[in-house]
């Protein structure tokens, strides 16, 4: 029997029993789809986490304070700052130009008076209070340790939108689960300015009515309120226009309250911290936390790999089972083939070709289907990230997964079909024809 | 016959997989459909504020506007007006000083107001002029200049507040002068009546309600 005859025979068998062929292909498709989707999603997730950890991001960020370093705190994760020191554009440029620094995001903050219409748990009115308003460039929020808990982040450049932290909820006697209650409410926020009035000094406020658009967990700066850098800039300008730049109110005169520095890779965090310390500023970074996250990430990798291997084994068992069923089903046909002169290797070849074809078709369909699943999951994830004003993930289907999915399914089918093919090939003609 | 009976057990596991695939297809399509509606957290988030110019409210005046003799900041009438009558995004600055006269307001408060580009302003400035005996004609002239200055700075709503009577030593009636200036300049007159209750929260609320009512009507 030639290869062409074997192919014809295998194709005819597939055509004659379309139901079985389709179901076997579906089994392979399912396994390949699961594997492709799993690998695509896990590769993307891993890339995302590794990007955060290795290439820089909020987790790999270094907080720089507008203060000199305290020599006794340099190696601490949460180093207490030393004496106040102006953090200006020159310092920002100097730090940005460090070779291992990927990005520098300035942080500004100012003290504000706040009036809220909300009442505490005992229904008592909450009097005006003083708190810090933290301002950041909200177009670069993905680089900062800011996570929305409810609602959304203020729009970039908005001067009447504000986000609050859990500290504000606690001030109102609310829990984190109550966060949606404060979203949409309005605060009166005033930046103070010291002015002369009848030979005395008094404080005059520039009040802004700001809508709370979200509740966030943030570590960009110390304060219960987060807003755009523009809104905080206006408040600081107002304060500085007062007598003695409002130093009487102990407002910082530093152009930036702090910087958030993203290093090129997690391994450079310590080095960059040392360089910034040498420039003359106090730094802090969650180096111990990052080390723990890396360890847990390795565990996740092992778990994902195990799930992939289990999927492969299940697929192989499925194909093998289907082919064994085919052998049992076609005993009489095998007997006839042998009776008319087919050799063992011819029968072996027919069954292997059939298994390989089913594996190949299943692999192609499964890879396409798996990509569709991953794409759908990616859309849901990106929708959520977009709502949180975070950078979306770009799903990547590595060519190794495509080739591996198709070739792997084919090889797996050939491997799983080997035992049934051997059984079919070794089946004695008389026994096969007799149905025994 | 043998082949058919053997077919069933061999393929028994395949049929559930087919059904699983169907369910998976439906789930994938549903997920793809859901994704276009965006994240769930946006549903409870307020819409983005419009990029239009914000209302800027400046309060010019003397001790009646400054309210330094009162403790409860949020119960002062300008603060109530700001809280209740100015839309979100609005800005408010109280420029009043305790001993301000119409002349000192023209010299000190108007330039500060101009720098803020106000869209609305309240002016309540009589007590010091009444005490110092500013002639009514001079008062009217300076107050007119003040209103015109505010209008030139961009204020489209200017409210002139005046209590029931406010006579100068020279015998002029400043309340009448305020009314005349309001009529001449097109500003809105807010007659406060008796303001002897100004030091109380109730008095502040009454003044705020009058001002808010005038704002809505102007």
pLDDT for residue B160 is more than 90: yes
**pLDDT given for residue A263 in this prediction:** 86
Residues of B in contact with A390 (CB under 8 A): none
Confidence at B195, pLDDT banded by 50, 70, 90 = confident
Does any CB of chain A come closer than 8 Å to the CB of residue B97? yes
DSSP conformation class of B50: P
Residues of A in contact with B34 (CB under 8 A): 380, 383
- Three-class secondary structure assignment of B125-193: CCHHHHHHCCCHHHHHHHHHHHHHHHHHCCCCEEEEEEECCCECCCCCEHHHHHHHHHHHHCCEEEEEE
In a domain, A363, yes or no: yes
CATH number at residue B186: 3.40.50.1110
Contact criterion met (CB below 8 Å) for B162 and B177: no
Q: A with B: how many residue pairs have Cβ under 8 Å apart?
A: 168
Angstrom CA distances, A197 to A142, A241, B68, B109, stand at: 45, 15, 11, 12
In a domain, B135, yes or no: yes
Last residue of a domain, one of A263, A285, A305: A263
- Three-class secondary structure assignment of chain A: CCHHHHHHHHHHHHHHCHHHHHHHHHHHHHHHHHHHHHHHHHHHHHHHHHHHHHHCCHHHEEEEECECCCHHHCCCCCCCCCCECCCCHHHHHHHHCCCCEEEEEEEEEEEEEEEECCECCCCCECCCEEEEEEEECHHHHHHCCEEEEEECCCCCCCCCEEEECHHHHHHCCCCHHHHHHHCCCEEEEEEEEEEEECCEEEEEEEEEEEEEEEEEEECCCCCCEEEEHHHHHHHHHHHHCCHHHHHHHCCCCCCCCEEEEEECCHHHHHHHHHHHHHHCCCEECCHHHHHHHHHHHHHHHHHHHHHHHHHHHHHHHHHHHHHHHHHHHCHHHHHHHHHCCCCHHHHHHHHHHHHHHHHHHHHHHHHHHHHHHHHHHHHHHHHHHHHCCCCCCCCCCCHHHHHHHHHHHHHHHHHHHHHHHHHHHHCCHHHHHHCC
Instruction: Return d(Cα A216, Cα B199) in angstroms, integer.
Output: 40
Q: What is the pLDDT of residues B79-111, one digit of tens each?
A: 999 999 999 889 999 999 888 999 999 999 999
Residues of B in contact with A213 (CB under 8 A): 45-46
Does any CB of chain B come closer than 8 Å to the CB of residue A382? yes
**pLDDT given for residue B19 in this prediction:** 42
In a domain, A81, yes or no: no
Query: Mutate which of B48, B70, B76, B116 to test chain A, going by most A C-beta atoms within 10 A?
Result: B48
Instruction: Return d(Cα A213, Cα A184) in angstroms, integer.
Output: 6
Tokens of B31: 């997920």
In a domain, A87, yes or no: no
Claim to verify: residue A109 and residue A223 sit in the same structural domain: yes
Contact criterion met (CB below 8 Å) for A37 and A377: yes
Claim to verify: residue A311 and residue A414 sit in the same structural domain: yes
Question: What is the distance in angstroms between the Cα of A229 and the nearest Cα belonging to chain B?
Answer: 16
Query: Mutate which of A17, A25, A130, A152 to test chain B, going by most B C-beta atoms within 10 A?
Result: A152
Find the angle CA(A299)-CA(A303)-CA(A304) to the nearest 5 degrees: 115
In a domain, B82, yes or no: yes
- Chain A, residues 163-222, CB within 8 A of chain B, namely 180, 183-184, 186, 188, 197-198, 202, 204-211, 213-214
Contact criterion met (CB below 8 Å) for A182 and A118: yes
Mean pLDDT of B53-78: 88
In a domain, A75, yes or no: no
In a domain, A83, yes or no: no
What single string gives the DSSP state of each residue in B75-98?
A: GSHHHHHHHHHS-TT-EEEE---T
| Number of structural domains in chain A | 2
Select the residue of A180, A322, A373 nearest B28 (Cβ to Cβ): A373
Claim to verify: residue A304 and residue A427 sit in the same structural domain: yes
- The packing angle between helices A344-387 and A399-426, to 10°, is 150
Does any CB of chain A come closer than 8 Å to the CB of residue B2? yes
Last residue of a domain, one of A225, A242, A263: A263
Does any CB of chain A come closer than 8 Å to the CB of residue B144? no
Say whether B35 and A379 touch across the interface (CB within 8 A): yes
Claim to verify: residue A255 and residue A315 sit in the same structural domain: no
Residues of A in contact with B87 (CB under 8 A): 209
**pLDDT given for residue A436 in this prediction:** 46
Structural domain range at position A123 = 101-263
Question: What is the distance in angstroms between the Cα of A34 and the nearest Cα belonging to chain B?
Answer: 11
Does any CB of chain B come closer than 8 Å to the CB of residue A432? no
Does any CB of chain A come closer than 8 Å to the CB of residue B98? yes
Claim to verify: residue A257 and residue A376 sit in the same structural domain: no
In a domain, A82, yes or no: no
Residues of A in contact with B88 (CB under 8 A): 160, 186, 209-211
**pLDDT given for residue A219 in this prediction:** 82
Say whether B97 and A198 touch across the interface (CB within 8 A): yes
Question: What is the distance in angstroms between the Cα of A236 and the nearest Cα belonging to chain B?
Answer: 15
Question: What is the distance in angstroms between the Cα of B183 and the nearest Cα belonging to chain A?
Answer: 31
Question: What is the distance in angstroms between the Cα of A111 and the nearest Cα belonging to chain B?
Answer: 17
In a domain, B61, yes or no: yes
| Number of structural domains in chain B | 1
Q: What is the pLDDT of residues B126-141, one digit of tens each?
A: 888 888 888 999 999 9
**pLDDT given for residue A390 in this prediction:** 62
Claim to verify: residue A305 and residue A421 sit in the same structural domain: yes
Question: What is the distance in angstroms between the Cα of A152 and the nearest Cα belonging to chain B?
Answer: 6
Structural domain range at position B172 = 56-217
Residues of B in contact with A155 (CB under 8 A): 48-49
User: Which of the residues in chain A have pLDDT under 70?
Assistant: 1, 42-43, 45-59, 73-75, 198, 244-250, 294, 297, 301, 304-305, 308-309, 312, 388-392, 432-436
Claim to verify: residue A249 and residue A119 sit in the same structural domain: yes
Question: What is the distance in angstroms between the Cα of A295 and the nearest Cα belonging to chain B?
Answer: 31
Contact criterion met (CB below 8 Å) for B162 and B192: yes
Does any CB of chain A come closer than 8 Å to the CB of residue B93? yes
Claim to verify: residue A409 and residue A329 sit in the same structural domain: yes
Contact criterion met (CB below 8 Å) for A385 and B38: no
**pLDDT given for residue A215 in this prediction:** 93
Q: What percent of chain B has pLDDT over 70?
A: 72
Claim to verify: residue A19 and residue A161 sit in the same structural domain: no
Last residue of a domain, one of A212, A244, A263: A263
Handedness of CA B97, B99, B102, B104 (dihedral sign): negative
- Whether the predicted model's global pTM rises above the 0.90 cut: no
In a domain, B15, yes or no: no
**pLDDT given for residue B211 in this prediction:** 94
Alpha carbon distance, N-terminus to C-terminus of chain A: 26
**pLDDT given for residue B39 in this prediction:** 33
Nearest to A343 by CA among A417, A424, A436: A424
If you average pLDDT over every residue of chain B, what do you get? 78
**pLDDT given for residue A317 in this prediction:** 79
Angstrom CA distances, B145 to A430, B57, B65, B162, stand at: 121, 19, 20, 17
In a domain, A85, yes or no: no
Does any CB of chain A come closer than 8 Å to the CB of residue B99? yes
């Amino acid at each position: 029997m030639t290869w062409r005859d074997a192919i014809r025979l295998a194709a005819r068998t597939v055509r004659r029993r379309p139901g079985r062929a389709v179901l076997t292909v579906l089994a392979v498709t399912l396994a390949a789809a699961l594997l492709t989707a799993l690998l695509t999603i896990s590769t993307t997730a891993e890339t995302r986490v590794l990007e955060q950890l290795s290439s820089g991001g909020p987790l790999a960020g270094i907080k720089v304070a507008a203060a000199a370093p305290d020599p006794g705190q340099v190696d601490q994760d949460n180093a207490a700052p030393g004496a106040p020191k102006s953090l200006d554009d020159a310092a920002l440029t100097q730090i940005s130009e460090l070779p291992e620094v990927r990005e520098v995001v300035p942080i500004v903050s100012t003290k504000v008076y706040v009036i809220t219409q909300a009442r505490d748990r005992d229904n008592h009115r909450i009097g005006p209070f003083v708190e810090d308003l933290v301002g950041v460039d909200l177009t670069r929020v993905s680089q900062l340790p800011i996570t929305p808990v409810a609602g959304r982040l203020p729009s970039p450049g908005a001067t009447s939108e504000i986000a609050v932290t859990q500290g504000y909820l606690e001030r109102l006697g609310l829990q984190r689960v109550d966060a949606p209650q404060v979203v949409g409410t309005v605060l009166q926020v005033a930046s103070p300015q010291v002015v002369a009035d009848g030979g005395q000094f008094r404080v005059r406020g520039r009040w802004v009515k700001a809508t709370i658009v979200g509740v966030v967990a943030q570590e960009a700066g110390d304060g219960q309120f987060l807003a755009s850098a523009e809104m905080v800039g206006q408040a600081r300008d107002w304060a500085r226009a007062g007598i003695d730049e409002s130093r009487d109110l102990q407002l910082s005169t530093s152009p930036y309250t702090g910087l958030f520095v993203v290093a090129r890779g997690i391994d450079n965090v310590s080095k960059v911290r040392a360089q910034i310390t040498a420039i003359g500023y106090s730094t802090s970074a969650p180096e111990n936390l990052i080390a723990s996250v890396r360890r847990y990430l390795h565990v996740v990798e092992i778990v994902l790999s195990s799930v992939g291997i289990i999927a492969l084994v299940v697929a192989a068992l499925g194909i093998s089972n289907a082919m064994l069923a085919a052998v049992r089903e076609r005993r009489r046909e095998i007997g006839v083939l042998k009776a008319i002169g087919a050799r063992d290797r011819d029968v072996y070849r027919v069954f292997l070709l059939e298994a390989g074809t089913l594996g190949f078709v299943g692999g192609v369909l499964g890879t396409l289907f798996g990509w569709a699943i991953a794409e759908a999951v990616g859309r849901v994830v990106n929708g959520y990230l977009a709502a949180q004003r975070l950078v979306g993930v770009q799903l990547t289907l590595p060519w190794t997964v495509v080739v591996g999915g198709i070739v792997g399914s084919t090889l797996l089918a050939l491997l799983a079909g080997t035992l049934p093919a051997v059984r079919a090939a070794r089946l004695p003609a008389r026994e096969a024809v007799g149905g025994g | 016959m043998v082949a058919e009976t053997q077919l069933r057990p061999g393929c028994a596991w395949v049929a559930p997989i087919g059904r699983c695939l169907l369910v998976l297809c439906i789930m994938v399509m549903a997920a793809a459909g859901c994704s276009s509606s965006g994240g769930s957290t946006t549903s409870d988030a307020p819409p983005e504020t419009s990029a239009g110019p914000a209302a800027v409210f400046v309060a010019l005046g003397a001790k009646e506007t400054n309210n330094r003799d009162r403790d409860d900041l949020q119960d002062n009438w300008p603060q109530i007006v700001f809280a209740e009558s100015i839309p979100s995004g609005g800005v408010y600055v109280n420029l009043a000083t305790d001993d301000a006269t119409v002349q000192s307001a023209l010299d000190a408060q108007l330039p500060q107001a101009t720098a803020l580009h106000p869209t609305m302003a309240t002016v309540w400035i009589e007590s010091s002029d009444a005490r110092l005996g500013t002639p009514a004609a001079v008062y009217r002239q300076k107050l007119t200049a003040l209103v015109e200055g505010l209008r030139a700075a961009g204020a489209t709503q200017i409210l002139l507040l005046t209590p029931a009577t406010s006579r100068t030593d020279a015998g002029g009636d400043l309340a009448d002068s305020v009314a005349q200036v309001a009529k001449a300049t097109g500003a809105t007159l807010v007659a406060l009546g008796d303001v002897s209750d100004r030091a109380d929260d109730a008095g502040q609320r009454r003044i705020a309600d009058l001002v808010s009512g005038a704002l809505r009507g102007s």
